[in-house]
Structure 1
Amino acid sequence: MNQTRSTHKARKRLFIGLISITCFVICVFLAGLWVIPYIGLENIHPAASWIVGVIVLGLIGIVSVAYWGLFLNILTKKPLPGAKRFRGLTIKLFLPLMVLIGRIFGLDKEHIRLSFISVNNDLVLAEAGRYAPKDILLLMPHCLQSSRCDKRLTYDINNCERCGKCPIAGLLELHDKYGVNLAVATGGTIARRIVVQLKPRLIIAVACYRDLSSGIQDTYPLPVYGVLNERPHGPCLDTTVSIDRVEEMLHRFIDTTKIETGRTLSTGQSADL
């Protein structure tokens, strides 16, 4: 547990460092848009350079407010005004630039994405409330199924015999116990289709760091809490996940006064069935 907390803090420090550099680079770039053409703009109109300056300073102000709002949100772990917008800026603006700047400094893309997932989870915890079980989706990758299993779970997860040799049985038990939606997807396209069909208000997604970071970006503004899978045999083969961790998040997000039964959904099925 202490090691997990230490790793989480290290990822947050990496994220804060990269986003600080990113914000600085954006501000310098915007300032350059004013300084570089300053002399030439005077030839167009005496006030042109000042008009551009006001616009640029306004943009710098917006970026700075977004940065400090995000920074305080990360530190306090409390819902601040505009928390959803801070998460949106992180996903749509800061993350791509952070990856680019990370490459310049020789940082591994995996570490950057892991730091992003950690911070995103903190923002979701601060922003999200509690929901009826039918509004929560457990979205799972098909690689959780044992490679030695001959059941077609990617078509219908209910084909699982619950033998306990892979995490699917435990996830089905969570579905039965709490009434949340449970879905298995074979890729990003199928996952997006399932989200569109079920229309959840919150997703608890299990995947590798790459699929989680891209999935969080694709589904914004829908809050996605990411749980990293474990890959003892390498990527996409007999992966596993902590059922206790998933259940812990269900305790955090479920509104027990609105118990309703959710559905299971897999590749090849329709949510309308």
Structure 2
Amino acid sequence: MRMKIKKRIFISLLVASIIMFLGFTAAGIALYLNKFNYFYRLLLLAVIAVMIVLIAILSIGLAATVLTLWHVKSFFGLQKLMNFSINLLFPIALTLGRLLHIPKDIVKSSYVEVNNKLVKSRNFRIKPDEILVLAPHCLQRWDCPHKITANVSNCRRCGRCDIDKLLSLVESKGIKLAVATGGTLARKIVMEYRPRAIVAIACERDLSEGILDTNPIPVLGILNIRPEGPCMNTRVDVERVREAVDFFLDYGLTASLIWKGSRADEKCKS
């Protein structure tokens, strides 16, 4: 069973990153108060001003992110600011995590959880043929002679790996499935298919990098299962893939509206 990674790990590292910026700004102010010549004082003042503006923007973006995670509701007009803050602070959060001896896979997994929650705070109504399921080639059995990275239809549907189940899923939903060998091919596939939403299956590294690379396309990330170690005969929880696809198809919102309607009817009858 995959360990549930807490979202607060990544959020805490983002907060620590902003605190670090505040420390640098305070140090700059202290230097400014010393007796430098006019040119250096002017240059330092410009740097401090830029840092103050940047900290304000990042703080607003992070605050909007936390509120979105808390209320599971997207705040209109702040989506780009949230993405900018997270994308800018992501490498700093990784560095701080390394300094604090937090494994990078845990930090990246926490980031994927945060991203998924942010995506699910929004409402989507996307056509099936505009949704792409992007899977890693390591889902296929390593000894299978029928390679599917060039054409997923080469799969013989023998059932030895989860590609067969994914093909059944995409056929029933009318969505697209592609298999990539790495980040470069994945980016090429996204540029070729031009989807409006992606359900991505991969390890922590590829998922986090892929989500950042495809921004602002909404991506729901699903970590693969590695019973034999990384990059070999991996598996995926196909039910989680189905739930992610249904979310983009707006099934979740429709079910929620039906439930609310039935509750309203019950209250009227009572």
TM-score category (smaller protein)? 0.7 to 0.9
Is 1:7 the equivalent of 2:1?
A: no
Per-residue deviation, residues 69-109 of structure 1 (Å, max 9, x unmatched): 1221222221113124313321x211100111111111111
Aligned to 1:252: 247
Aligned partner of 1:173 among 158, 168, 175 = 168
Q: Is contact 2:25–2:48 with CA below 8 Å preserved after alignment?
A: no
Is 1:83 the equivalent of 2:79?
A: yes
Q: Is contact 2:124–2:248 with CA below 8 Å preserved after alignment?
A: yes
Which stretch shows the higher mean deviation, 103-112 or 193-202? Answer: 103-112
Aligned to 1:226: 221
TM-score, structure 2 as length reference? 0.84
Aligned to 1:259: none
Q: Is contact 1:42–1:49 with CA below 8 Å preserved after alignment?
A: no
Q: Distance in 1 between matches of 2:183 and 2:44?
A: 47
Distance change (3 Å), C-alpha of 1:52 and 1:249: closer
Q: How does 1:104-119 map to 2 (within 5 A)?
A: 104-119=99-114
Q: CA deviation at 1:232?
A: 0.4
Aligned to 2:257: none
Q: Distance in 1 between matches of 2:42 and 2:149?
A: 64
Q: CA deviation at 1:152?
A: 2.2
Is 1:201 the equivalent of 2:199?
A: no
Q: How does 1:81-160 map to 2 (within 5 A)?
A: 81=76, 82-90=78-86, 92-127=87-122, 129-160=124-155
Q: Distance in 2 between matches of 1:28 and 1:12?
A: 25
Q: Is contact 2:201–2:222 with CA below 8 Å preserved after alignment?
A: yes
Distance change (3 Å), C-alpha of 1:139 and 1:128: farther
Distance change (3 Å), C-alpha of 1:67 and 1:35: farther
TM-score, structure 1 as length reference? 0.83
Per-residue deviation, residues 167-188 of structure 1 (Å, max 9, x unmatched): 1111111111111111011111
Aligned partner of 1:26 among 21, 25, 32 = 21
Q: Distance in 2 between matches of 1:161 and 1:49?
A: 65
Stretches of structure 2 lacking an aligned partner (at least 5 in a row): 252-270
* Superposed CA RMSD: 2.4
Q: Is contact 1:205–1:224 with CA below 8 Å preserved after alignment?
A: yes
Q: Distance in 1 between matches of 2:47 and 2:178?
A: 51
Aligned partner of 2:57 among 40, 58, 62 = 62
Distance change (3 Å), C-alpha of 1:184 and 1:126: same
Instruction: Give the secondary structure class of the aligned counterpart of 1:233.
Output: coil
Aligned to 1:36: 31
Distance change (3 Å), C-alpha of 1:134 and 1:255: farther
Return the letter of the residue paired with 2:93: M
Q: CA deviation at 1:40?
A: 4.2
Q: Is contact 1:77–1:123 with CA below 8 Å preserved after alignment?
A: yes
Distance change (3 Å), C-alpha of 1:168 and 1:56: closer
Q: Distance in 2 between matches of 1:116 and 1:203?
A: 17
Q: Is contact 2:57–2:81 with CA below 8 Å preserved after alignment?
A: no
Instruction: Give the secondary structure class of the aligned counterpart of 1:36.
Output: helix
Structure 1 vs Structure 2: percent identity of aligned residues? Answer: 37
Q: Is contact 1:142–1:184 with CA below 8 Å preserved after alignment?
A: yes
Per-residue deviation, residues 199-218 of structure 1 (Å, max 9, x unmatched): 01111000011111111121
Instruction: Give the secondary structure class of the aligned counterpart of 2:4.
Output: helix
Q: Is contact 1:140–1:207 with CA below 8 Å preserved after alignment?
A: yes
Q: Distance in 2 between matches of 1:193 and 1:56?
A: 36
Distance change (3 Å), C-alpha of 1:44 and 1:207: closer
Return the letter of the residue paired with 1:108: P
Distance change (3 Å), C-alpha of 1:35 and 1:251: same
Aligned to 2:261: none
